[in-house]
Amino acid sequence: MADRPEGSAAKGDNRPKLSLHVPEPKYRPGDAVDFSHIEVPEAGTTPRPDEACDPAEMRDLAFGLVRVLGDDNQAHGPWDPKLDADTLRAMLGHMAMTRAFDERMFRGQRQGKTSFYMKCTGEEATSVSASMALAADDMVFPSYRQQGILIQRGYPMIEMINQIYSNRGDKLKGRQLPIMYSSREHSFFTISGNLATQTPQAVGWAMASAMKGDSRIAATWVGEGSTAEGDFHSACTFATVYNAPVILNVINNQWAISSFSGFAGAERTTFAARALGYGLAGLRVDGNDALACYAAEQWAANRARANAGPTLIEFFTYRAEGHSTSDDPTGYRSAQEREEWPLGDPVMRLKNHLIAIGEWDEERQEKMDLEAAEHVKKVTKEAEANGILGHGLHHPFRTMFEDVFEELPWHLKEQAEQAVRERETKFPEGLPAKGVQG
């Protein structure tokens, strides 16, 4: 034990015993779930401050919940983005497509076509709607659960699947873990498996855009668990110091693998409130309300474009599925949570809204879902023609040594030659077409 100074006036052992607090989630497997402690304000009741306002004036918004879609399935209040029906249907379509994509890719992993997959079920609005509120050339620095951005931006789905299968069509040359996409053409930054590293990078990009007098802004997405990383705090500091035109989107889906949001500090305050200490604008938003997601992102984008400063947005949502294909959530949380989640399902809520305003019906929804599933299936087949993981149809072998540096130095040349030699020893008759991981 640590030494205590001799002769200290107040002896430590006379004082009350300290005790350590370790957070504990409310529900574990088998528990009945009651979410009544979650405050869900009436849709439309949160004021919408001026986009150029001082962060101090909007303090309450960091503790509230911006909501547009009410229980009556109508849009309410000052945050209603007043989107036309075509835009709303497009939004719904992207979200449905994202869900269909997740379904099939998850199945593909279970069928052994790839090593790994991550769904974003229940979080579709936080990527699709947010992305729709940005300009197509605004730079995004996503984490691994924002496939909705690529779908919204029209990135060819076959490229996504090629990447997931690490096949010969994968433009990342089979190097990255599945779902770690990259598309410069779509202003989509290459995803890192190292959590939160993209957040200060987004700020740097935004600073550069400001330095150059560009008009593009940057946005980054990070999980609530990952806000505990130092990188996130560097991002906040740089963003505020340089008034960078950046949006820091925090996706609070309640769980970081098996650790609930309390291990990132959620027992004491909100994630939106992180903004306050840095002097950033902070918004807390119903992440399952596609209109609120759009409105908040648009607000922050307008603010950034007006040089009025960065915004931190917490999207309050729920990770309906497991963390990844390697995870089994029934081991650590109540299966009831998903059903009881008070904010509903973002796809259903948007669908019901469109129906309520007379712009949609169940039949069209069914047709759309079917078409989405068919589309993904068709593209999956096309991608499979380029190979699946471990079946030999990957990028030309030598590419393994490319892109470490711009030019191949002597030591990598030597190693490439060795690797080719190994391959010739292994497959003297040439590479077999199937079933080979070479």
Partner 1 sequence: MSDTATQNAPASEGTSERRLNMIEAINDALDVTMERDDNVIIMGEDVGYFGGVFRCTAGLQDKYGKTRVFDTPISECGIIAAAVGMGAYGLRPVPEIQFADYIYPGLDQLISEAARLRYRSAGEYIAPMTVRSPFGGGIFGGQTHSQSPEAIFTHVSGLKTVIPATPYDAKGLLISCIEDNDPVIFFEPKRIYNGPFSGYYDKPVQPWKNFDASVVPEGYYKIPLGKARQVTEGEQLTILAYGTMVHVVEAVCKEKGVEADILDLRTLVPLDIEAIEASIERTGRCLIVHEATRTSGFGAELSALVTERCFYHLEAPVERVTGFDTPYPHSLEWAYFPGPIRIGEAIDTILKD
Would you tell me which residues interact with ligand TPP (CB under 6 A)?
145, 193-195, 223-226, 251, 253, 255-257, 319, 323
In this chain, which of 192, 243, 302, 336 binds partner 1, going by CB under 8 A?
Answer: 192
Scan residues 67-106 and list those touching partner 1 (CB under 8 A): none
Residue 263 as a binder of partner 1 (CB under 8 A): the answer is yes
Cα–Cα distance for residue pair 305/203, rounded to 1 Å: 14
Closer to partner 1 by CB, 35 or 397: give it: 397
Per DSSP, 333 falls in state S
Which one of 44, 77, 169, 178 is in contact with partner 1 (CB under 8 A)?
Answer: 178
Q: Please choose, from the candidates 351, 289, 297, the residue with its C-alpha nearest in 3D space to the C-alpha of residue 93.
A: 351
Give me the least distance between CB of 177 and partner 1, in Å please. 4
3-state SS class at 216: coil
User: CB of 198 within 8 A of CB of 149?
Assistant: no
What is the smallest separation between the CB atom of 102 and partner 1, expressed in angstroms?
Answer: 20
Nearer to partner 1, 243 or 258 (CB): 258
Q: Is 12 in the site for partner 1 (CB under 8 A)?
A: no
- What secondary structure, in 3-state letters, does 227-255 show? HHCHHHHHHHHHHHHCCCCEEEEEEECCE
d(CA 438, CA 423): 7
242 binds partner 1 (CB under 8 A): no
Is 195 a binding residue for partner 1 by CB under 8 A? The answer is yes
Q: Quote the CA–CA distance of 281 and 274 in Å, as a whole number.
A: 10
Does 22 engage in binding with partner 1 (CB under 8 A)?
yes
**Closer residue to partner 1 (CB): 238 or 360:** 238
Picked from partner 1, ligand TPP, none, the partner binding residue 90 (CB below 5 to 8 A depending on kind) is none
Least Å distance between CB 438 and partner 1?
Answer: 7
CA distance 32 to 30: 7
By CB under 8 A, tell whether 415 contacts partner 1.
Answer: yes
- Amino acid present at 130: A
- In contact, 72 and 44? CB cutoff 8 Å: no
Closest by CA position to 239, among listed 195, 150, 300, 298: 300
Can residue 297 be called a binding residue for partner 1 (CB under 8 A)?
Answer: no
From candidates 170, 289, 297, 345, binder to partner 1 by CB under 8 A: 170
* Distance of closest approach, residue 207 Cβ to partner 1, in angstroms: 22
Q: Is 313 in contact with 222 (CB distance < 8 Å)?
A: no
Burial state string for 46-66 with b = 16 or more CB within 10 A and e = fewer than 16: bebbebeeebeebeebbebbb
Q: How many CB atoms lie within 10 A of CB 184?
A: 9
User: Which neighbouring-strand residues pair with 246?
Assistant: 218
Q: Determine the residue with CB nearest ligand TPP.
A: 223
Closest separation between CB of residue 124 and partner 1, Å? 24
One of 26, 48, 305, 423 touching partner 1 (CB under 8 A): 423
**Cα–Cα dist 48/69, whole Å:** 15
Residue of the chain from 123, 124, 231, 314 that contacts partner 1 (CB under 8 A): 231
Name which position in 31, 45, 332, 371 contacts partner 1 (CB under 8 A).
332
401 binding partner 1? (CB under 8 A)? yes
Question: Per CB under 8 A, does 383 bind partner 1?
Answer: no
Which span sits near partner 1 by CB under 8 A: 169-177, 280-288, 313-321, 364-372?
A: 169-177
84 Cβ neighbours under 8 A, 6+ residues apart: none
User: Nearest distance from residue 251's CB to ligand TPP, in Å?
Assistant: 6
